[in-house]
Amino acid sequence: MGLDELCRLAARDMIAAALEAERRAYLDAHAAETDERGHRLVVGNGHAGEREITTAAGRVEVAAPRVDDRREGHRYESAILPPYMRRSPKVTEVLPILYLRGLSTGDFAPALGEFFGSQDGLSASTVQRLTEEWRVEHDDWSARDLRKLDYVYVWADGVYVNVRLPDADGAQDRLCLLVIVGVRPDGRKELVAVSDGHREDTDSWADVLRDLRDRGMTAPCLAVGDGALGFWAALRQVFPGTAEQRCWVHKVANVVAALPKRTHPQAKAALRGIYTADTREAAIDAAAAFADEFAKWPKATAKITGDLDVLLAFYDYPAEHHKHLRSSNAIESTFATVRLRQRVTKGPGCRDAGVAMAYKLLDAAQDRWRRINAPELAALVRAGATFINGQLRERDETDETTSLEERAA
């Protein structure tokens, strides 16, 4: 017996054990519910017929446990193995990544068939059908009501992926996704918008932000992004009260690109001394020292001194949040597997399919995003608390501070 077969058998046994444990928990939870004769209303009812499920270990046969739930209006349904499911969620996450990296729908079966043990369920028509479902899901999600949602912070980024698409002149261009991720008042990170922007210009970003506003989104307290001028111009039009924070990861990359390679280690250390300073005043002093040390390269130093206000905006927010607010890593890390690659797909793809795939990739990833540090402070920020150098401002009127904390609670 080969290693692949052993892996499939182990996956089958693990799934079967999880399904049995799930059924047992359901039966135990309703064990006290009986009819007039004292018979239990919720009992086990054998197993359904075996069906093949595509998992990361290959295709395995699984017989789902059944439950006879005689309560009116109730029906047992496994959360691990929903009815008609034929592939594990992890496999579903793989498909968007491969598509966005340039693999055409017709290549899925030969590329993955050997790994999964079969090409069944991986044909071009199957992938296209999945894509259609995800397009509808994305359209519904993009029209959802935002009046009951609130985002204290947002990260925004334009992500280019390798799906080549024809423009109005017939030339092929890469797909540009406009992505926004937000932080709820309870500290949870959540996907806010995924849109086809064609390019990162002001009009494209303004369309996205106006749509969010028109569906009821409240202006965030702070927006984080790179130096792309289109987003910031659009933000000032649509949410003029939102503060701006430039991404330090992008800024450091831009600065060292304007310096000789031999100076990069010293420059990176000096820049780190700016954004990790304990106070805004110390950061300003570190920026002045950086400008003096690298005065021979004024284009590089101007990138810091000219944007210092928006580079240090994070000092007006809780110190526990600074590491989250200094960069747009929430978006960057999710797309690390599909962006910044040199090889692109040979033929033109479908723009709507690319957006749907990107949405599905982010939708799956957000389940793994962890809350920001000290999540309870996000509600204080939304309530209007004032922070100086990351610390809640001390007030003589203690009642006012207490009032803010009560409102946040």
Using the predicted structure, report yes or no on whether residue 91 has a pLDDT greater than 80: no
Confidence of residue 344 (pLDDT cuts 50, 70, 90): very low
* pLDDT one-digit tens code per residue, 271-324: 999 999 999 999 999 999 999 999 999 999 999 999 999 999 999 999 999 999
Q: Give the CA dihedral 195, 198, 203, 205, nearest 10 degrees.
A: 30
| pLDDT computed for residue 399 by the predictor | 43
Out of 83-92, 342-351, 374-383, 385-394, the most confident range is 374-383
The stretch 74-98 carries a mean pLDDT of 65
Percent of the chain with pLDDT over 70: 73
Does the pTM exceed 0.85? no
Q: Which of 186-190, 325-329, 362-366 shows the lowest mean pLDDT across its residues?
A: 362-366
